[in-house]
A = this chain, B = another copy of it.
Amino acid sequence: MAAWARAVRGLLLDVSGVLYDSGDGGGVPIAGSVEAVSRIKASGLKLRFCTNETQATREKFVKKLQGLGFDISVAEVTAPAPAACRILKERNLRPHLLVHDDLVPEFAGIDKANPNCVIIGDAAENFTYANLNEAFRVLIGMEKPVLISLGRGRYYKETDGLKLDVGAYMKALEYACDIEAEVVGKPAGMFFESALAEMGVPAQQAIMIGDDIVNDVGGAQRCGMRGVQVRTGKYRPSDENHPHVKPDAYVNNLAEAIDVILQQM
């Protein structure tokens, strides 16, 4: 019983849809999740927050979660923007940014003059017709267009309903330019691996808990981790018939997952 929860040393938690539902005014915690995070920390399990959140700097994001009652610090968060900055520096890339205004400070140290790549994040209200045309023109003007996408999510849930995520707009630019984007963030293997390294736990002893069947569960499983899907956030009953991804377990919410995991310790 609950074999999926045995021999665990570390947890990766998705944030939006697992800890809280985002939305106007900062969003609302999911019932039991504040306590669940505290219980993980008290248990001695290693913990990383592994998010594709790109609507804010990590500082601002963490502050919002702290305001909702979560015990979380910037140093515990693995997020796409810092990973993208490492790639930009390694490859001498100067980005044109199609991202949320609040994410721009993450790229403060990066040369953005005369861009030779485009970075797309969850730009939300910045996904205007004009901004998409501008990013497209930058790409189509390059001999070999380079598009770096901070995640490839299809959609997410906010308190006022489902919203298209960065992946949809990434696909629009990919199609228009006949190129393939490089994805930084979940479900990229490198992203999970850096979160595991930061935690110091091998994949076989780690569980990823998320609400996204493909990007959280499928991505983690491909790295050798267990993947557990919560029935909160963007979860839909049809996920349980997904043609390719079969989670190691379903749980009603994070609190239930932590109950089971701690019982097995």
Contact = CB atoms under 8 A, between A and B. Distances in A.
Interface of A: 124-125, 127-129, 132-133, 136-137, 140, 154-155, 161-165, 167-169, 171-178
Contacts of A175: 154, 167-168, 171
Identical copies of this chain, number: 2
A168 B161 contact: no
B176 A155 contact: yes
Contacts of A164: 129, 132-133, 136, 172, 176
B155 A136 contact: yes
Given A164-B133, A172-B171, A140 B155 contact: yes
B162 A168 contact: no
A161 B138 CA distance: 11
Given A129-B164, A171-B174, 13 more contacts: A127-B129, A127-B132, A128-B129, A132-B164, A132-B168, A136-B168, A140-B162, A154-B178, A164-B172, A167-B176, A171-B171, A171-B172, A172-B172
B172 A176 contact: no
Contacts of A133: 161-164
A172 to B, nearest CB: 4
25 contacts: A124-B129, A127-B129, A127-B132, A128-B129, A132-B164, A133-B161, A133-B162, A133-B164, A136-B162, A136-B163, A136-B168, A137-B161, A140-B155, A140-B162, A154-B176, A164-B172, A164-B176, A165-B176, A167-B175, A168-B172, A168-B173, A168-B175, A168-B176, A171-B171, A171-B175
The 8 closest A-B pairs by CB, nearest first: A168-B172, A171-B175, A172-B172, A168-B176, A127-B129, A154-B176, A171-B171, A133-B163
Chain A contact residues: helix, strand, loop or mixed: helix
Contacts of A132: 127, 164, 168
A172 B176 CA distance: 11
Nearest to A153: B176
Contacts of A168: 132, 136, 172-173, 175-176
A121 to B, nearest CB: 14
Contacts of A155: 136, 140, 176
